[in-house]
Chain A
Amino acid sequence: MSKYKALVIGGSAGSFPLVIQILASLPANFPMPIFLCLHRLKHIRSGYLEALSIKSKITIVEPQDKQTIKPGIAYLAPSNYHMLIELGNTISLSTDEMVKYSRPSIDLTFETAGYVYKDKMVGIMLSGANTDGAEGMRKSIERGAYAVAQNPEEATIRTMPDAAINAAKMDQILPIDAICKFINELAK
């Protein structure tokens, strides 16, 4: 039984195929919730979830405000909302101002998940073209989270994993295939 209770994944430009690959690699009965905070172009508001779902055995949902968190479900931050993890096993959404020009803000999802799950959280930072997420990653690490960044050498756009690596000490820096393997190990 895994000691971990939550998997949080952040990504931006270049992360879309990686997330598809990760989700496709996971068993349907993955033992913890997955929080996906991914930037997408503002005009792409529909179809994104469907595209992520095609190869995934795990159900992916864009949560409603105050939705109860369940293991084995992937929660995708809805376009134009921040996705915050609350004490009491629920998700809340917010339309607060953008953080680092982003809404959803990866910083906020990481920070609030870190606050709730502490050392029971695994955070993963994928390819992306800005520095969103680095600060949230740092804060979740301070709370005890286990941190993984995609190897920047391999990332389509390395700014985001680079920023995370510069902001805090990662537990591992891995290429995507190894990230998939690592997450599957968590399931055991």
Chain B
Amino acid sequence: MEDTFEIDILELSALVKMVREKYHFDLKEYALSSLSRRIKRILEMFNLSSIKLLANKIENDPVLFEKFLNEITVNTTEMFRDPLVWKHLRENVFPELAKLPEIRIWHSACSTGEEVYSMAIALREAGLDKKATLFASDINNDVIANAKAGKFPLRTMDHSLANYQKSGGTKKFADYYTAKGIDAYFDLSLIQNVTFKKFDLILGRQMEQFDLILCRNVLIYFNLPLQDQIIEKFAHCQNENAFLMTGARETIIWCKSADYYDVFSQDFKIFQRNQKQ
């Protein structure tokens, strides 16, 4: 059975407290339903019968904690996810970015890298790759390794191709990768301007300036106060007119820090930094 027990809220709070005190990572701000679900999955994976046992184990085992954290924070994605967003990006945001002498882009939760490769492809096709610098970060080391390798399951390529075409891509998509066994290996020259780095969105220190920040389908895992805090952080590393993209079903309008941004596209959740200091 997937799970035969209910999440014990008291044990969960104790785990959250221990993780905060010992590892300075705050799970309290995670949306409860997703967190519970992921913890259930971890218990299964580690073959443990209670959250209490899990807490005891990770309290004294930093390596296991790292594994735990990777499982908690893993984020699934796909290439050119929400293709119409990418189409809008190509058609409406890129022309604005093209006016800049150089373009700095931050994938603030790059996960396994699909979004970064999508961006690299779109930039190359727009002739903007030469002046673009990409920064890709995630809290999860495992996914960063995957992103750097540029290896994605071949079976997902049909869907990627469909997304690519809907996004306005007109080249031969298969030219961007080499199929070997069950995987597609992407052309690593795509990411020659990309710096990958482990980075904690919540605790991480102030970043430099970015002309475009992507933070898609990440805020959904956090509660509102934390969402607010993250948007505020973004606002402080963006100059006027810089862009922020959230996921298609995410919104920052409930955040106080939304005041730092004007809506560039309501439909595609693209925001533009205003003058507010």
Contacts and interface: CB of A to CB of B under 8 A. Distances in A.
Interface of A: 62-66, 78, 81, 84-87, 92-97, 108, 112, 115, 135
A94 B220 contact: yes
Given A64-B251, A65-B249, A65-B251, A97 B34 contact: no
Contacts of A97: 76
Contact of B31 (A63, A78, A84, A95): A84
Contacts of A108: 33, 37
B34 A84 contact: yes
Given A64-B250, A66-B224, A95-B247, A86 B76 contact: no
Interface of B: 2, 31-34, 37-38, 75-77, 217, 219-221, 223-224, 227, 247-251, 254
Nearest to B221: A94
Contacts, number: 57
Contact of A92 (B31, B38, B76, B251): B31
Contacts of A112: 33
Nearest to A66: B224
Contacts of B37: 96, 108
A16 B219 CA distance: 31
Given A66-B227, A97-B76, A135-B2, A87 B220 contact: no
Contacts of A63: 249
A132 to B, nearest CB: 13
Contacts of B32: 86-87
Given A65-B220, A66-B254, A92 B34 contact: yes
Nearest to A113: B33
Contact of B33 (A64, A78, A84): A84
B76 to A, nearest CB: 5
A112 B221 CA distance: 15
B224 A95 contact: no
Contacts of B75: 95
A65 B250 contact: yes
A64 B34 contact: no
B33 A62 contact: no
Contact of A85 (B33, B217, B224, B250): B33
Contacts of B251: 64-66
A113 B220 CA distance: 17
